[in-house]
Amino acid sequence: MPTPPLAFDLGLRCAQALLCCSEPEAALAQLQALQPLLQRDRQRACWLQVQAQVLVEQQQSEQGLDCAQQALVLAGRVGDTATALLAAQRAAMALMRLDRLPEALALMAAEPPGLPQLPAEQRLYWLCDRALLFEHANLRTQSLAAYDRVIAEAEAQQRWLPAADACSNKAVALMYLGQLTASNTQVERSMALSRRAGVDGVGLLIDEMNLAGNWRDLGWFDRYLARAASLPAELHAAGLAVWAVNCEHDLAVAYAWLGRIDLTQRLLAPLDAATPEVMCAARLITRLRLARDFDARQLAPRPLALLDEIQVLLDRGGNRSGLLRQALAMERAVRAAPAEGAALLALIEAEALAQENLLAATSAARLRIGLLLSAGDGAAAAVAAQALLDRLAVHGPPPGTYAPALWWTASRALASQTPERAAQLVQLAADWIDQAASRVPPLYRSSFLQRNPINQAVLQAAAPLR
């Protein structure tokens, strides 16, 4: 029979194995069975650290934080550096879930000297959690280097799935930072690593959706439609209903860009009652956004009522903050009186920039420029347009942005003060449309050129310049 210390060590490993197998209840039961064996502070620190991990995994963040903090004190008392590192990691994850981000970041801001001494798997997941924390705190630029550390560590250990996950997460961070080409590269790298780990088919659907979205944003409509048209059905069949709804929204946007609002409307039909409120809200916001940008009143015949309906859905779903709240605020602002709406959009733009979310900041800036023009404040519109162009000078329009719409809005704002620059932007938008048209399937080419109102306006303005 194992001695008490050995029995404790084996039991603790068993609890950790159960947690790895996604059996947190069994892990908790195993930990409770170990309590009578606790004799020393070192054992108590180890036990509390694992207990904290299980509780945090179960969304019991307050209790998990309490256990982690106790473990941290005990580990420090006995000089157990490894357990102290892990306890700090558990505390940081609990604090992150409690939205106490400054405290969480203080625990994992830098790689500690003792990190190399952790076992390989624990070292890898410490790095994973640190990158996740930076992303959650909207420190996306910092998260890029953190994800690179995860990828390097995972590849050194030949752990292809964690490496793939880190590449996928880095792609999302790059997307928010407006770096479309770099994001595209990371998605492709993630898929290659997943295949190396033996993942294929259903396991790659989400990455395929993200990659296809990048193709759409680049104007590669032939490649996009060839893959994306069947993706919603495949995601539904795989039991990934929320992702299927997201994919439908992406496809609906593509059809709007292609001038086929009829297909957009079909894709954005009401969702069934079992769909999470947040996804229902996202669908209505998509309808409002496309109705506004593409003169498609049929998508949102009663926009003010839709705004109120979205607010109810977000409140009911517990989502009062974040990206959807920001998107709803934009839709309210753009429908306010021009001067008032422009002021509101300036606040949203500043908030998005502080969060390193160039997608939302770009949307808010473009809408604000339009409202400033409507308010007759051409000077302010020109300043805002130049600031937006300066921000996008390196990487171009961010993902999710219809590039010609951005350049067209900026050209209108600069037309009176710098007509040469305005003409260049019109030409840039027209060239993008021409290049994209060569990659639009024949079925959609006519509607793309003649029924997309942004394309019509750009091509009409560009005609005398050619």
> What would the pLDDT profile of 121-154 be if each residue is shown by its tens digit?
999 999 999 999 999 999 999 999 999 999 999 9
**pLDDT at site 57:** 84
**pLDDT at site 19:** 66
Domain extents in the chain: 1-101, 119-199, 403-466
**pLDDT at site 453:** 98
CA distance linking residue 395 with residue 368, whole number of Å:
21
Distances (CA, A) of 463 to 251, 336, 430, 437, 456: 30, 34, 9, 16, 11
CA distance linking residue 24 with residue 4, whole number of Å:
24
**pLDDT at site 4:** 56
Per-residue pLDDT tens digits for 202-229: 889 999 999 999 999 999 999 999 999 9
CA distance linking residue 466 with residue 455, whole number of Å:
16
CB atoms within 10 A of CB 400: 19
166 and 158 in contact (C-beta within 8 Å)?
no
pLDDT band at 3 (very low <50, low <70, confident <90, very high): very low
CATH of 1-101, one of 1.25.40.10, 3.40.50.1100, 1.20.1300.10, 3.40.630.30: 1.25.40.10
Per-residue pLDDT tens digits for 346-405: 999 999 999 999 999 999 999 999 999 999 999 999 999 999 999 999 999 999 999 999
Per-residue pLDDT tens digits for 237-263: 999 999 999 999 999 999 999 999 999
CA distance linking residue 321 with residue 100, whole number of Å:
15
Compute the C-alpha angle 325/395/439, nearest 5°: 90
| C-alpha radius of gyration, the chain, whole number | 26
Closest residue by Cα to residue 283 from 241, 315, 250, 256: 250
Counting other chains too, the contacts that 422-431 makes at CB distance below 8 Å and 24 or more residues apart are 423/465, 426/458, 426/461, 426/462, 426/465, 427/462, 427/465, 429/403, 429/404, 429/458, 429/462, 430/404, 430/458, 430/459, 430/461, 430/462, 430/465, 430/466
Q: State yes or no: pLDDT of 84 exceeds 70.
A: yes
CATH topology for 119-199 is: 1.25.40
**pTM for the structure as a whole:** 0.89
- Residue 439 contacts by C-beta under 8 Å, 6 or more apart in sequence? 219, 220, 221, 222, 223
